[in-house]
Amino acid sequence: MMLVVVADVVLRACCRLPVRGQLELVELALAYTIFLALPAVFLRGAHLVVDVADHFVSARAKRALDLFASAASVAALAIILWQMAPQALYMMRFGDMTFDLQMPKTWYAAPALAGILCSALAALVLVVRDARRR
């Protein structure tokens, strides 16, 4: 992504020749990077965490909070998927295309749907793991 942006800036400045579709390429790469990395973030427990209560509650209460957080993540991701799926299917059926490169917007929707689905499954794994630890 960075190289595409740098190449676009340099070519615009030197040769007045921009990289065609640079914005679309960066958007697509960003979508793949964010959505497909999200399940690994869940499984590694690498989310940003504010552990204000962890120092004041018992270990059992901390496990209960972890279970609640995992269950809330599953619920939130399920709602996101429920809201995203119809819109993504509409874009696919309608044949939406990007402006510059004329790429199907399916290439944008697919990583988002796959990433959210896999993230929900990863969060569900965490719920089962946290429930067994109790």
Tokens at 90, concatenated: 């509409």
Q: Which residues contact 52 (CB under 8 A, 6 or more apart)?
A: none
Walk along the chain (134 residues) and give the pLDDT tens digit of each residue.
889 999 999 999 999 999 999 999 999 999 899 999 999 999 998 888 878 888 888 988 888 888 898 899 999 999 999 999 998 888 888 888 989 999 998 888 889 999 999 999 999 998 998 888 76
User: Burial of 102 by CB count in 10 Å (0-12 exposed, 13-18 middle, 19+ buried)?
Assistant: exposed
pTM of whole model > 0.85? no
